[in-house]
Structures are given as structure tokens and as C-alpha cells.
Structure 1
Amino acid sequence: MRPNVSLLDSPEVIIFGATHRGMRLANRLVARFNVLVIDRAPAPPEASSGWNYVQADFTAPPNVEGARVVFAVTDEDKLNIRIALAVRRLSKTIPIVITLVQSRLGWKLIRHLDRFSFISPPELAAKKIVEAIYAPKPPLASRTPPVIAEPAPEIRPPRRVDRLIVRALSIIASLAVLSTIYFHFAENLSWIDSVYFVVTMMATVGFGDISLRTSSTLSKIVGILLMIASVTNTAVIFALVSDSLLKRRLALTFGRRRVKQSGHVLVVGIGSVGLEVIEELIKRGERVVGVDVKADGKYLPQVHAMGVPAVIGDAKFERALRDAGMPDAKAIISVTSDDLTNLEIGLNAKLLNPDVRVVLRIYDPDLAQSLAEHLDIHFAFSMSSIAASVLAQLVESEPQPQIWTSEKA
């Protein structure tokens, strides 16, 4: 890292966000431009690569007008938009490029901001990953005979309790405790009688042996509020429990059945990237089966709406892969957020189907290269590397391309 760096220098390229894609972008551009990276975190080891680094808040530097372009590549869409607006307040002419997961929001912003553009890393990665299905298989640097191993025992993940149900139960328990204490002292009831009285009131089955007919006005008000709160809270608990049971039943019905297909593509990890991959595969006429470990995944409703079967299970284990038709699939694409999980899924898929094409999402570009060269993993892609390469091409091109304008292509 260069000494005595400050926001008052005159950088040609300003990058907000020392993320994987931000640092790869800086490394790509530092040979041609004076690059400044701004992030809240302390300087990473990569900052010694020759580009400047400043630990600061995500606010536009005062000399932003002297920059050739500004990139906002943090991991949060909201923060990237905020940075873009802050830069635009200081300069009406400097080009701004941000990363956005929600591309539809990006196109709407383009209508209102001049010299503004964006890329969607999930969309870019999805196109690259899907293209790998049709590309020729790269040669292996070294090939080792496959080893048939005993399948690991399947470990069921612990069931998660709905937080709303826990909160509702906590509220009703708190009401019972506080009411018991109040009536014990206010009505001179024994502790057991006070508990009995509160339970009968909360259940609205008062037997009349203990009543508030001759009690003080305050006690009557407390009793009225307790009954209303208890009935309301009980109805909420029943609704939440019913909703939870229905979701589990739907997951068992639609997500835990064996898929009977052949020549299809498995997509493991139905997140933002997985959804884009599924959409791209459907556009190309492929039959797709999704696999995800979460029965309540955020993007599962969209997958079901597209008519794509989704298997709920852990693809690190043979059962989930068999349920998804792995032995008869032509390709598997694993795009979970963990490198080792994707690697394990890819290797397990090769054991079930040695001829299947394997495409993995790998964050570490060095690991991705090694997997493609030395293991029977045909393609491994780093999403941040793909995004950084596209961003670098925007600023390296001469003259600057049409993407800087506010007109949608």
C-alpha cells in the first residue's frame, strides 16, 4: 500500500468496497490507472498490490470529479445505490457503475440517473455457467482412477422453530406470570388459586368459583385486558402453527419426492445465482430440477411458478442426488455459497454418474483453476472474477462504451 494516501489524491478510478470483486477489479486496473479503493474495514493484504487503499466511510471524496469512473461493488444493493447517489450529488458527469442483484431495480435507476450503469453478478455468472454445459470438456492435467467410497451417513439438520411462534408463546407466558402475581396480591389469593384463576380466565372457561364481581375497578380492568389479550394471542398462535404445518406438508408433497427424468440438468442451491441459472436453462429449452436444503427458501415459490420440480434435501448426500435423478442427468450445476460444499457435491455426483458434466461455483479463483486442471470437475467459476472482468472491460475500452449513457439498450 502506498504511504501517506489520503482522499485528497487524484485517483483515476475509485472503487467503493474491498470485496472479492472489488479487489480483483483493482488488481486488473492498477497497471493502467491510479486506483483508489475505499472501505470501512482495515486494509486487506491485497492492498500491497500497488493500488491505494483508504479506510473510511462510504462517502464520496471531495475530488471525485477528477476520476475517470466510480465503481460501487459492496455486497449490499442498498449501500451501492446510496454511494451512487452521493457521488452524483457531487458530480453530474462522472460515470458511475454499481453491482446490483436486483437487475430490474437497476434498469429503473438508469431512467433517472445520467451516465449511470450497473451489472448483475448473478446474471453474468448464470450465463457463463450455463454456457459451460455446451463447451468442450477441457483436458485433465492428471487423471486418477475413481475411488468408490462408502456413502456418508445422512445427518438430518435440526428443525428450526418459527420465531413468531416463540414470540407469541413468550407473550402469553409473560401475561400469565404477571397476572398471577397481580391477583395474588390484589385479591389475596393463594399462589395456586391465583394460577388457577388466571388459567380459567385466559382459557375463557371461568367456572364462577372465583370471580371479580366485588373486586376493585383496577382488577376488573386487568381481567378484561387479560381475556382480550389471551384470546387474540391464542388465535395468532393457532394461525402460525397451522401455517408452519401446512408449509411442512407442502414441502413433503412437492420437495421430497423422487424426480423421474433423464437428460436433465440439476441445479443445486436455489439462491439468487441458482434462480438466474434455472431461468437461463429454461430459455435454452433444458429440463431442470432444482435442489435446495431449505424447505422455506426465499426463491422456491418462483421456481415452482416456473414449473420446475424442486427436491428438498442436502445434496452432499447420495439420497438427495438420487431423488433429483442424478444417475440419469446430463449435467449438474452447484452454486451454493460455500466452496467446499460445491466441491463435495460435484465429487459425489461423479460417483453416481461418471459421465455427468460438473459445473461448480467457486469463490477462490485459484481453487477454481486447480479443480478444472487436476480433478474430473469440468468447469469451476468464480462469480467475483467474472464480475470484475466485465467491470474492468468497461473502463479499459476506448472510447467509453454506450453503457455510460442513460438509455436502455
Structure 2
Amino acid sequence: MLRVVTELVSSGERVTAIVNPVSRHRDRIGELGATVILAPVISESLLRKAGIDARDGTPSTARALVLLDTNDVHNVHTALTARDMDRDLRIILQMVNPRLGRQLNSLLGDCVVINGPSLAAPAFVSDALDDDELTWMELGGRMVVVGQADLIREPHLTVLADTTSSATPQLLPQAGVDPAGDIVLGTGVRTLWYSRGVRPAGWVMAVRDILDSRVRKIAALMALLIAIGTAIVHYFGHIEWWRALYLAAGVVTSAGIDDDKFQDAEPWVKVSAVVVQLTGIVLMALLTAVVVDSLIGARLSRIIGGVRGRPRNHVVVCGLGTVGARVLEILVERGVAVVGVDQSDDAPGVQVAHRLKIPVVVGDSSNEETLRLAGVQRCQALLAITDGDITNLESAMVAQELNPDARITMRMFDHDLAERVERQLGLGNSRSVSMLVAPAVAAAVGDKRRQVIVPAGRRVLLLTEVVVESGSVAEGRPLGSLNEAEGLRILARQDLNGPWDWQPAATRAVNAGDRVAVVGTRAGLARLLMVTRAQRKSAAS
């Protein structure tokens, strides 16, 4: 909510935020300029107070409703309530379950479903592969791809960001800039080759992990007792070797003893047999306890799904939540070898990893031994994307110590901490899921359309198509006047029912019904939407 409110306020929107009283960000949201309503639960009366008050053909004071609860059921319930109150209200809601989100359009009509993991995961993948993301989309009537210039097949359509000139990327630089290393827009990619996949440990490794050093020591002591007992029974009981081995093993393992063979034995032999049998009982109890402890301490799903052998040039993903699960899927789609790490074997990404046959190490990702099991010392990249900033920072520091050449990317919410870590510690890149998702939410408030987010460092660009509405400020103005230096660039134009033109004349007037393909910053796109939207008598938010 904090990121979304920041985006909306910076775009000139008036915002009313319904905030839980226990939220640690409630004061900060108010400082941004939003009207804050404190309430633990959203009700119909609360929505009316916030501006959803349509009645008798009069539209609501509020233009859109944004639902950001992490509980899908709460979001759907609130959305259905708001739809009953205003049939024309634009609704934007965050959904963790993408399948449920795809079914909401039929229920809610004019709504936009935002899936945070799907939006944020490609940015982490791009960092891991050092290709700054290859993103495909249909734009301006053709399939285009965004990525690093050395990965995109020439000719390039345009340069989106200069990431080589300084620490802060320059967005939408002027034409003529050397594209080497920059983020560009093109129509195809060069051939990419990645390392061989990493296989899960399997049953052989599972049995080896269960039979640890404690089990081997106990088994060795039992074998020694059986050997001594076999020799005693053979020489002093005058019994053949195989029969003696059977009797000795029966005594040590508490399986029983054939008293008929010992009834005429010397007393000390009988006493020795009893002592050995008591010792065997203790050893069998210890052996059972150790095996059970191994199974409980390292669950079967953990030891079977571990890493086999010594993987190299793979990607280690620490944190297998909803974002981590999507990252695993994308890496597998790209043919990249990957190993997952999570503290819980019930995490959503663990089930995804098992389905995709990806090895998983269950343990604390900030622990050196856990990262060693994942092969961090030989990996090409590490993604620390758990929910905790400190855990991700610790994981990155341990990984850098084990493998200074690995590319490291951290998930960090605290923007100030992320900048200081990047500048002073040099641990690699940092990403914020909320900063990647918030621009999409803010843009969806202004207009329902398909758009793609392109990360450039910690900044983002958005590619989308916008329709010029009748009665808007842009109508009748030259097309070139809509461009903004480092803020917005017109890529292509389509006249009403006409073909797309990817080299439109800047002097040609903009007409109502024209569709333009654009790339811009969140603020630049927001200003474009304001000038292309039909003027309304009431300035609602």
C-alpha cells in the first residue's frame, strides 16, 4: 500500500487509503498526502465513506478501488461488495492465486487483476542470468522483446535505458547513443546457451544421509561383537562356522539364542552369552533411536530432494515463497540449472520444485552449511528473495564470502537500506517486489490495458498502448508533443481501424480514436493518460 500510494500521489491522483490501525506505515501514508481511514475490516459503510457512493445514475466520487490485501478471499469479497454499490467502478485487485484471478473478469466486469509474483519474478531472473530480462510482448501489432543490447538481435527498434554511463540508469536516452550494454527494444534474440540441469539426490543419497556416522559406529560395534561371539561359539562350543555366526548374530541382535546348544557349555560361556545379549539389546535400541532421529531431523522429502553430486554454473534461489516459485518456473523455461533453498519444506515453491524435479535444500539460507549444500561456492548466481531483508542480506554476505564471482541479487523492501548496501558493501543488485508491482497498479487505475514492466536497476519503465479519447487535451495536438525527454516516447501509432505505423510523423495531428504504443516512466505514462483521457466535469480520485 505504501508504494502504491506513493505512485498514485506522485501521478497527481487524490487518494483515500483504508489502513489497518496496526500497520507500521499508517503515519507515512498520511504524510504522503493521502486521506487515511483507520479500520481493521472493510465494510459497505466504510466504502461509502471512502467515496464509493453511486446512486440514481450519479457516478461515485471515487474513480477506482484498489484492493491490496494478501488474502484473496478478502479481496474478492470486498470487490463483489463494491461492484454491487457501483456497476461502473474500476476495480484493481491483487491476487495471489492467478487461476482465481483469471475468473474474476466474468464476475466483476471492468476489473484489473494484478499478480505480484508474475510481475516481479522476471526482474530477479534477469539479474541471475545477467541479461537484464528478456521480455516478450505484443505491442503495436507485432511481437517485440526487451533486453540487453548484446542479447537482442539487430536491428534494434529503440534504446530504452542507458545502464553503462553511470550508477543511475538513464531512461529513454536520445537517439544515437551507443547501445552496447543498454536495454533495447527489438524483434528477436540471439541464441542463448545455459548449463546442464542439476538432478535431485534421489533414494541413494537419501539412504546415505540416514546412515550417518552415528549409525555406522553402532553398526561397526555390533559387527565386532558378532565376530567375537562367532569365534567363541566355534572354538569352545565346537559348532561349525555358519551355525556359530547364526547363533552369535541372534544373541547380539536380540533375535534369540538356541539354548540346546549351550546347555552343556562352560559357565563362563553362558555368562558371556548373556552379557553379549544385553549389550546387543542396548545397541539395537541406540540404532533404532538414531535412525528415527535422522528421519525426523531430516524429513524424507528433504533428503530425497537434495542436491546430487557437485553442481556447477547453476542458479541458487533462496526463498521459495510465491515469488520464488515463479522464479523457478521461469528459470526452468529458460533452460537454466537451478537449486532451491528454503527454511520450510511446506513453502509454495518446494512443491513447484518437486514437480519440476529441481533439487531443494531445506534450511536457513543465511547458514553457511546450508549454502554449501546448495553448491553456492560453484554457482553462477544467487537470488536471496525471502520475505526478510536481514535474512537476504546475511545470505548475500555468506554467498559472497564463499563465491566472490557469483552474481548476487537481494530482495529488499527498505529502499534506503538497499541503496546503502549496494553503495557501501558491493553485494550486488537489490530489488523490491512492491516497487516492481506498484507502478502496474498505479497505471491500471488510470486505464484498463495490457502493459509490461521493464526494470532498469531499481527504476522501471512501462510499455503499453493508449487510446486517445474524444474530448481529451491531446486531441488535435501534434504527435511529437506527447513525447517527454527521459519520461515518455511514442513508439508506434494506429489510426482508427488502420495499420500500425512504427515510424509515425511527429507533426501529424492526434485524432480521437487513435491508438499509440508508448514506453515511459510511471510519471510520464500517468501524464499521458491524463491528456488522452476525456475531460470530466468532476475531478474524482
Identical residues among aligned pairs (%): 30
State the match for 1:318 in structure 2: 368
| Partners of 2:360 and 2:77 in 1: CA distance | 36
Kept after mapping to 2: 8 A contact 1:256/1:313: no
Picking from 351, 365, 368, the partner of 2:415 is 365
Does residue 280 (structure 1) correspond to residue 330 (structure 2)? The answer is: yes
SS, match of residue 112 in structure 1? helix
SS, match of residue 108 in structure 2? coil
| Partners of 2:325 and 2:297 in 1: CA distance | 21
| Partners of 2:337 and 2:450 in 1: CA distance | 36
Kept after mapping to 1: 8 A contact 2:322/2:348: no
Alpha carbons of structure 1 residues 95 and 140: separation in structure 2 relative to 1, 3 Å = closer
Kept after mapping to 2: 8 A contact 1:259/1:323: no
| Partners of 1:45 and 1:267 in 2: CA distance | 32
State the match for 1:104 in structure 2: 99
Instruction: Kindly name which structure, 1 or 2, has the bigger radius of gyration based on alpha carbons.
Output: 2
Q: What is the CA deviation profile of residues 73-95 of structure 1, one whole-angstrom value per residue up to 9, with x for unaligned ones?
A: 12222211111111101011111
Kept after mapping to 1: 8 A contact 2:315/2:379: yes
State the match for 2:117 in structure 1: 122
State the match for 1:381 in structure 2: 431
Does residue 54 (structure 1) correspond to residue 54 (structure 2)? The answer is: no
TM-score of the aligned structures, taking structure 1 as reference length: 0.63
State the match for 2:388 in structure 1: 338
SS, match of residue 308 in structure 1? coil
State the match for 2:85 in structure 1: 90
SS, match of residue 382 in structure 2? strand
Q: What is the CA deviation profile of residues 23-67 of structure 1, one whole-angstrom value per residue up to 9, with x for unaligned ones?
A: 221122224121100123164333122111111331222641222
| Partners of 2:305 and 2:167 in 1: CA distance | 36
Kept after mapping to 2: 8 A contact 1:24/1:388: yes
Kept after mapping to 2: 8 A contact 1:258/1:322: no
State the match for 2:7 in structure 1: 28
Give structure 1 stretches of 5+ with no counterpart.
1-21, 142-241, 404-409
How far did 1:295 drift? 3.4
Q: What is the CA deviation profile of residues 130-167 of structure 1, one whole-angstrom value per residue up to 9, with x for unaligned ones?
A: 122323898779xxxxxxxxxxxxxxxxxxxxxxxxxx
State the match for 2:67 in structure 1: 72
Higher helix share: 1
| Partners of 2:65 and 2:325 in 1: CA distance | 29
How far did 1:100 drift? 0.9
| Partners of 2:345 and 2:68 in 1: CA distance | 31
How far did 1:262 drift? 1.0
Q: What is the CA deviation profile of residues 223-251 of structure 1, one whole-angstrom value per residue up to 9, with x for unaligned ones?
A: xxxxxxxxxxxxxxxxxxx9x95894514
Picking from 38, 41, 45, the partner of 2:28 is 45
Kept after mapping to 2: 8 A contact 1:331/1:358: yes
How far did 1:276 drift? 0.8
Alpha carbons of structure 1 residues 269 and 82: separation in structure 2 relative to 1, 3 Å = same
State the match for 2:251 in structure 1: none
| Partners of 1:125 and 1:298 in 2: CA distance | 16
| Partners of 1:298 and 1:98 in 2: CA distance | 21
The residue type equivalent to 1:96 in the other structure is I
| Partners of 1:351 and 1:259 in 2: CA distance | 22
The count of corresponding residues between Structure 1 and Structure 2 is 279
Kept after mapping to 2: 8 A contact 1:269/1:335: yes
Kept after mapping to 2: 8 A contact 1:248/1:295: no
SS, match of residue 358 in structure 1? strand
State the match for 2:300 in structure 1: 250
| Partners of 2:35 and 2:378 in 1: CA distance | 52
Alpha carbons of structure 1 residues 393 and 374: separation in structure 2 relative to 1, 3 Å = farther
Kept after mapping to 1: 8 A contact 2:5/2:29: no
| Partners of 1:284 and 1:118 in 2: CA distance | 26
The residue type equivalent to 2:438 in the other structure is A
Picking from 345, 355, 367, the partner of 1:295 is 345
| Partners of 1:109 and 1:102 in 2: CA distance | 11
* Equivalent residues in 2 for 1:169-184, closer than 5 Å: none
When structure 1 is superposed on structure 2, of 45-54 and 295-304 the one drifting more is 295-304
Kept after mapping to 2: 8 A contact 1:26/1:35: yes
Q: What is the CA deviation profile of residues 252-311 of structure 1, one whole-angstrom value per residue up to 9, with x for unaligned ones?
A: 532455552111100011111111111111111111100112234444232111010111
| Partners of 2:315 and 2:307 in 1: CA distance | 17
SS, match of residue 111 in structure 1? helix
State the match for 2:449 in structure 1: 401
| Partners of 1:72 and 1:89 in 2: CA distance | 16
State the match for 1:232 in structure 2: none
| Partners of 2:372 and 2:112 in 1: CA distance | 43
| Partners of 1:298 and 1:130 in 2: CA distance | 18
Q: Which has the higher contact order (CA 8 A, sep 6+)?
A: 1
The residue type equivalent to 1:112 in the other structure is L
The residue type equivalent to 1:71 in the other structure is V
The residue type equivalent to 1:376 in the other structure is G
Give structure 2 stretches of 5+ with no counterpart.
53-59, 133-147, 149-162, 169-291, 452-541
Higher strand share: 2
Kept after mapping to 1: 8 A contact 2:302/2:361: no
Q: What is the CA deviation profile of residues 166-193 of structure 1, one whole-angstrom value per residue up to 9, with x for unaligned ones?
A: xxxxxxxxxxxxxxxxxxxxxxxxxxxx
Kept after mapping to 1: 8 A contact 2:112/2:444: no
